[in-house]
Amino acid sequence: MVYVDIDVSLPDTNGSDTNGSDTNGSDQTLGRRVSRNRKLRKRRVSLLDRLLLLFSTSRRVDKLWIVTEESSKSGLVLSRVIDALCLIKTHDPHRFNRILRDLDRMWELVVPGADARYYVALRTCECNRRFVLDDASSPELIAATIVHEATHARLWHCGIGYEEEVRARVEKVCIRRELAFAAKLPSGQAVRARAEQKLALPHEFCSDAHAEDRHVGDRVAALRDFGTPAWLMRALSAVRVRRVAPTSGGAHPDTARTPDDVARLQEAQRELERARCGVEPTVAIGQPTPGCDHAEPTLGPEHFDTATILVNLADLVQAQGNLAMARSLFERALAIREKVLGPDHPDTATTLSYLADLLHAQGDLAGMRPLLERALAIDEKALGPDHPSTAIDLSNLGGLLRKQGNFAAARPLLERALKIDQKALGPEHPDTARDLSNLARLLSESGQRKEAEAYFLGAIAIAEKALGPEHPDTGRYQSHYARLLLDAGRAAKALALAETALTTHEASFGVDHPWTKASVRVTADVLAVLGRMEEAAFLRARVGLMANLGPSPGP
């Protein structure tokens, strides 16, 4: 949720804001981005907010101010938020560094209608105190909420607004960042479940009307918590009805925009819809929109935030299956980051990995190798040879070499990744389980089944303890282990594991997800070996897989 204070005036088309103040031309946006003046935004914080901040309790954590109102529970509120930030810093340091860049402070107060929101004027993530203090709000859930609102901040800084027409799509981007964060947590099940519930909400949930209803309902609950008399609550409701009634037939004055702003918003909506339909955008991101008479300068085609927008759009179209367009967007993002940040920056390495993953989806294994090798070289130099990010690069490159059958070259890379994560993250960390599974797959495929089995059992034990027995990663390791057992002639034991993995993946992702289909392949192959051919054929048909005469290749 994004909160744009009414004092944050949007510039008009002649370069001045609605109050006549000059705008900073270098910070205006053009085309499909709504113009916003950061300098203006910072100095137009209301007097009330300044006073509230002045008389609040605060603590500084890694350059980020944590603020809460003075009360008997201030210490508890601060400690819960700090615990959540520590989770992000520990399990997703790259995202934590982005939060430090995109936010100035965390402010814990009553936020009607939401668990949290991004307050534009203060560059602040406002967390609802009631949510933070709720016994059901684990550090993981609070951390995911911070990740969600920090994503709003980043999108806003990139020029992507929060108007009703694009709100649902913006929210989905932020929710997917929660899912990505949940995958890195040792206990991310609750975060994943909540995020998936939010993704399933109808489009109308993000409308102004629904937001207003939630806002009013939560404000009423907050007033009750504060002991407000019933007569005063009725009076406040009556005042609100009289204030809203005159504008109920049209747009609320707080959401009014100039004609040019409306035109830009409509253009953004059209371009995003074209992207969703798999059509290459007609307007280059960061470039002027043709036919716009009052086009201000954008961030520019070579701005760092332009690259971020390209990556987000590439993620979207790749998920929709438009791999060619996603590849083009990733390549443009890579070119920007190479020029702006340099060819040896960790963000450049991350973009190389994204592009390599896209090539994997296209089946271009040969094209992946130079990208992964370069990403590894960058992180080794920039972050160090023993950094967890370096371990991820080693795992990626080792996994590629394994798929290409180059077991001799892959093994030392995967063993090195395992040693790094065991030392840096601990022997029971989910990343350590991933490393064990990767190494086990290599050993299994190279015929060293006994040693591979020990690694698989270790990976499954760690995942069950750290992530839970029904986590998709746990199921993935079980599916790989079932393949080993099947190849070793132990079909009965393999079937139990394969069916467990299939149940987990189908419950988590549905029948169309690649992990679900991989589990179906293993389960069907085991059933075929056991002579249960009809069951195997039915299972394959249920997910659209072709029947085969013998065991299919491993996932």
Question: In terms of Cα–Cα distance, which of 432, 518, 524, 443 is closest to 488?
Answer: 443
What phi, psi does 20 have (nearest 5°)?
90, 0
| Strands of 105-109's sheet in order across | 2-3, 116-119, 124-128, 105-109, 64-69, 56-61
- How far the first Cα of the chain sits from its last, in Å, is 39
Q: Give the 3-state secondary structure of 306-364.
A: HHHHHHHHHHHHHHCCCHHHHHHHHHHHHHHHHHHCCCCCHHHHHHHHHHHHHHHHHCC
Domain boundaries, the chain: 2-205, 207-243, 279-289+297-382, 395-460, 468-555
Query: Which burial class, exposed, middle or buried, applies to 274 when counting CB atoms under 10 A from its CB (0-12, 13-18, 19+)?
Result: middle
Topology (CATH) of 468-555: 1.25.40
pLDDT at 11: 32
Angle in degrees, 0-180, between the axes of helices 430-445 and 407-424, rounded to the nearest 10: 160
What is the per-residue pLDDT for 44? 52
Give pLDDT, residue 290.
38
Q: Give, as one character, the DSSP assignment of residue 415.
A: H
Main-chain dihedrals φ then ψ at residue 11, nearest 5 degrees:
-65, 145
Tell me which residues of the chain have a pLDDT lower than 50: 5-43, 223, 226, 228-299, 548-555
Give me the pLDDT at residue 305, please.
Answer: 66
Q: What is the pLDDT of residues 45-65, one digit of tens each?
A: 566 666 666 667 778 877 788
Domain 2-205, CATH number (from 3.90.550, 1.10.390, 3.40.50, 3.40.30): 1.10.390
Q: Which CATH superfamily is domain 279-289+297-382 in?
A: Tetratricopeptide repeat domain (1.25.40.10)
Q: Are strands 124-128 and 2-3 parallel, antiparallel or unpaired?
A: unpaired
In this prediction, residue 160 carries a pLDDT of 83
Other Cβ atoms less than 10 A from the Cβ of 505: the count is: 24
Cβ within 8 Å of residue 350, ≥6 positions away:
94, 375
| Sequence letter at residue 447 | G
Question: In CATH, which of 1.20.120, 1.10.10, 1.25.40, 1.10.3470 is domain 395-460?
Answer: 1.25.40
Spatial contact of 222 and 110, defined as CB atoms under 8 Å apart: yes
Half-sphere exposure of residue 82, counting CA atoms within 13 Å on the CB side? 16
- On the question of a common fold for 395-460 and 468-555, the answer reads yes
- As beta bridge partners, residue 552 has none
Q: Give tens-digit pLDDT for 273-293.
A: 444 444 344 334 334 333 333
Whether the pTM exceeds 0.75: the reply is: no
pLDDT of residue 335: 92
